[in-house]
Structure 1
């Protein structure tokens, strides 16, 4: 029993030292109840100042010509599409290489020419927009609106050409 007594004494001494060490570290030092830096920040969206587009003489000079080119390409395509549509209807029973089939294919090729003219105008609009962006200027509303109109017409023309071509026998 004697040997157990010193062991119990050592264990008691270790426990008291550990408790004293913990008490010495926390005595008088409690965590602060003041707000931390992360708690005092704002989660509100920052206000963004939108720069207004100033008049751009280069764009203003190019837009009327591009607008006229786009309007002409759209109108000419519409007329040619009616003819191509009618020729495709008559060529449906014709064999590949027949006169009616060739006439319809020629009309579809003409549609591609009008679509290419419109595509070129869209490319010119893209170039104007990219030049403005490279200079750090904001979007130009007239340029953006004309680009949207031209791109929608270009997509519509591509779909119309595809629809007409699908009605013709494949070569």
Structure 2
């Protein structure tokens, strides 16, 4: 004789058995809600930035460094224009040709001038480092000068690379 209901599939029986234990909570397990220690922030506390007092000696050094940067950038820009002219003349010339060599010499001069700008940056970074090591607060004018010098060095590196890319490879 045939039963009116088909026999349950084995997977259905396993599912029924697996969920049977979930039907009656008995509070034996800990809560999954965050504990008090887990709500604690481990971020650094926000401390007010100390105002730096005006420093006439530092302002004088900053002025000297600004003048040195301006001179280094002016000298580099003049040499860069000359190097660009020589590179344009050497465009399409074979490596080792006279115009190519002249452009390469101009690029070497540019690299020397870029290192002079980097030296000015190094002097300013030493000022900032000495100030930080002595525990003094940041000095906004010094930070602005450092940013300007870093930008100038980066721009000079890119300018040299752009001129170099226009020449035939060695």
Normalised by the length of structure 1, the TM-score is: 0.69
CA–CA distance in 2 between the matches of 1:87 and 1:47?
55
Deviation at 1:82, TM superposition (A): 1.4
Deviation at 1:46, TM superposition (A): 5.6
CA–CA distance in 2 between the matches of 1:167 and 1:86?
11
Q: Which runs of 5+ in 1 are unaligned?
A: 1-37
**Residues 116 and 46 of structure 1: CA distance in aligned 2, closer, same or farther (over 3 Å):** closer
- What's 2:162 paired with? 163
Alpha-carbon displacement from aligned partner over 1:89-112 (angstroms, at most 9, x marks no partner): 111222222211111111111111
- What's 2:83 paired with? 84
Deviation at 1:59, TM superposition (A): 2.3
CA–CA distance in 2 between the matches of 1:46 and 1:96?
60
Larger radius of gyration: 1
**Residues 95 and 129 of structure 1: CA distance in aligned 2, closer, same or farther (over 3 Å):** same
Q: Secondary structure at the match of 1:169?
A: coil
Q: Which runs of 5+ in 2 are unaligned?
A: 1-35
- What's the C-alpha RMSD, in Å, of the aligned pairs? 2.2
Map 1:1-171 onto structure 2 (within 5 A): 48-171=47-170
